[in-house]
Amino acid sequence: MDKKLLGRMKKYKFLYFLFLPIAVYFAVFAYYPFIKGILLSFQENRLIGNRPFVGTSNYEAVLSDPDFLQSVKNSLIIGLTDMVLYFVLSLLLALILNEVFSALLRKTTQTIAYLPYLFSWSVIGGVWALVFDLRGMANLVLGFFEIEPVFFLAEPALARPLVIGMGVWRSVGYFSLLYAVAIVAIGPSLFEAARIDGAGRLKQIRKIILPALRGTMKTIAVFLAIGVLTHFDEIYVMVNPANRQRIRTLLLYVYETGILNFKTGTASAGAALVMAGTLIITAATRRLIKYDKE
């Protein structure tokens, strides 16, 4: 038996040889950083040299840091609002577009809505800088209703809505495309049968399309749940002294504390808590949508 196994392994020795660098890559750049991060969270803040273990003091430090607590709040508000809006608005857009009879209009709208998903967050930051400029499009609309111009990007009260809006603008088209792909896959015979039974279009949407989208909805929900606490790029692009209290998310806190201010221990403790939070949010979402059933 063992000889047989060895023989088979010998047959594939070249493939093992090729797999070696791949395994090394994952070990060094995926597993090790993860374990390292957890180790660092129990060690003293030092960038080089040996770092003595300090028990849970990093966690105590991070949990008593008002900046961290504020970023927990920011992350939850921005992350959860984004999650709900992406999910609901993209579903609505897909359903509405599906009712558009002109294929050209449907395809054009889909493409226009999808394009921003290709853009870097900096590009979207540029679009926002122009649209929400003191003399930009948004203030032009306000002017039409005779409202005084607003300096959107420096107004703390508007900081979170603007960042959430960026995400919606960028992502709704992409997620609605995922729904659209699933709608197209529904067999036409189902609709014909429903019509013969006298079901109107609305009832067809409710009884055929929505149930058919359940799998896609679950996948998207879990995907979004994993992302709730990982907002970084758009915050990095948009953060300024006027809005930082409102939009600094957990990952920006981790980045600033660990990489810009060299407090690797504190930052890693923060990151470990974000990881735990992500697990909790994902598990809660899975349970809420009964992901593992069926």
Partner 1 sequence: MRPRHPKRDQVPFPLRILGSSVVVLVILLMGLPMVNVLAVSLSEAGASDAPGLVLFPSPATLQGYFFIWNYVDLRGPFLNTLYVSVVGTLIHVILSSLAGYILTQQDLPFRGLMTSFVLLTMTVPSELALIGIYTVNKDLQLVNTYAGLIVNGMISGFSVLLMRNYFSSIPTSLVEAARIDGCSEFKIFRRVYLHLSVPGIMTIGTLELIRRWNNISLTVALISDMKKWTLPVVLRWILFDQTSTSGTEYIFNNAKMAAVVLTALPLVILYFFAQRFFTAGALLGSTKG
Question: What residues numbered 50-89 form the site for partner 1, per CB under 8 A?
Answer: none
Considering the complex, what minimum distance in angstroms separates the CB of residue 73 from partner 1? 19
Q: How far apart are CA 114 and CA 104, in angstroms?
A: 15
Contact (Cβ atoms closer than 8 angstroms) between residue 83 and residue 228: yes
User: In the window 169-188, what residues touch partner 1 (CB under 8 A)?
Assistant: 169, 173-174, 177-178, 181-182, 188
Per-residue contact track with partner 1, 14 to 53, x per CB under 8 A? xx--xx-xxx-xx-xxxxxxxxxx--x------x------
Q: Contact between 150 and partner 1 (CB under 8 A)?
A: no
User: In the window 88-127, what residues touch partner 1 (CB under 8 A)?
Assistant: 92-93, 96-97, 99-101, 105, 108-109, 112-116, 118-123, 125-127
Interface pick for partner 1 out of 69, 84, 88, 140 (rule CB under 8 A)? 140
* Residue labelled with tokens 């395809």: 107
Nearer to partner 1, 70 or 165 (CB): 165
Q: How far apart are CA 138 and CA 7, in angstroms?
A: 71
Q: Which range, of 54-62, 75-83, 156-164, 229-237, touches partner 1 by CB under 8 A?
A: 229-237
Token pair recorded at residue 76? 């939850």
Q: How far apart are CA 136 and CA 199, in angstroms?
A: 48
Q: How far apart are CA 275 and CA 226, in angstroms?
A: 10
Nearer to partner 1, 78 or 237 (CB): 237
* Residue 110, CA distances (Å) to 101, 127, 172, 176 in order: 13, 19, 10, 8
